[in-house]
């Protein structure tokens, strides 16, 4: 039995997220599994590195599946790209060790959140940015980003209650970069909770506008209460950029 790893890009605008769901075939996982089932003539389950929400994009999602096909890596890639919708693309196909698992072997991820900070309409990239009008204090946002780096309990920045699993995560990179009218928030860490990047971004933007004081951050982390953190930034601005493995 061969173990095949896929690297996947997708525009998430019209999908109900990564994970296959009952009642809808409109998910990234569902679309890929349907094409693989056609290719192999039997049902196939793929395992992703993690879920992305409805409307979130990916440049470097990773998934794996097992099969007995004689097709080469290039033939598998060509078949998938021929039959998948144009907003889902397979950028790499590679046979890997039988023990490799896309989710269980992850060591870290990089997400990028894009904010369009201008009154001008970003006509051609409007599906990939969060239009945000207002003056932002970059020094305060960067100072807040430094406070959020490292290992913390991020329960306050999680979009749903977590009872059994740990909400402790380590952020190794949190850069805020301005490129013309665009602001990019670059996050790297060992893992991210449900809506965590979007809530962190919303919180940093509130600090940037002065709606929230930077001095509130330690108390927000300690409280472990979602209502104390900032708003959840929209899905459209978020992209899963890269998944890291040893």
Q: Give the residue numbers marked as catalytic.
A: 53
Partnered with residue 112 across adjacent β-strands are: 186, 239
C-alpha to C-alpha distance for 162 and 140, rounded to whole angstroms:
30
Our measurement of the distance from residue 232's CA atom to the centroid of its chain's CA atoms, rounded to an integer in Å, reads 14
C-alpha to C-alpha distance for 103 and 164, rounded to whole angstroms:
19
Output the CA torsion 101→43→20→246 (10° steps). 10
């Amino acid at each position: 039995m061969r173990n095949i790893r896929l690297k996947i890009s997708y525009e998430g605008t019209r999908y109900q997220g990564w994970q296959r769901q009952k009642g809808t075939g409109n998910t990234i996982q569902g679309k890929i599994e349907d094409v693989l089932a056609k290719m192999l003539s039997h049902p196939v389950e793929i395992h992703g590195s993690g879920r992305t929400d409805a409307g979130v994009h990916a440049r470097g999602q990773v998934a794996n599946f097992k099969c007995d096909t004689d097709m080469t890596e290039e033939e598998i890639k060509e078949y998938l790209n021929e039959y998948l919708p144009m907003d889902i693309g397979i950028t790499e196909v590679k046979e890997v060790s039988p023990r490799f698992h896309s989710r269980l072997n992850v060591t870290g991820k990089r997400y990028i959140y894009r904010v369009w900070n201008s009154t001008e309409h970003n006509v051609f990239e409007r599906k990939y940015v969060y239009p945000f009008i207002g003056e932002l204090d970059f020094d305060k946002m960067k100072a807040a980003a430094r406070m959020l780096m490292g290992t913390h309990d991020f329960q306050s920045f999680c979009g749903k209650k977590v009872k059994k699993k740990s909400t402790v995560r380590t952020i190794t990179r949190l850069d805020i970069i301005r490129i013309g009218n665009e602001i990019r928030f670059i996050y790297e860490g060992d893992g991210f909770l449900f809506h965590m990047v979007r809530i962190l971004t919303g919180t940093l933007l509130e600090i940037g506008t002065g709606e929230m004081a930077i001095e509130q951050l330690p108390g927000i982390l300690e409280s472990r209460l979602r209502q104390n953190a900032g708003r959840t930034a929209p899905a459209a601005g978020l992209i899963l950029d890269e998944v890291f493995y040893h």
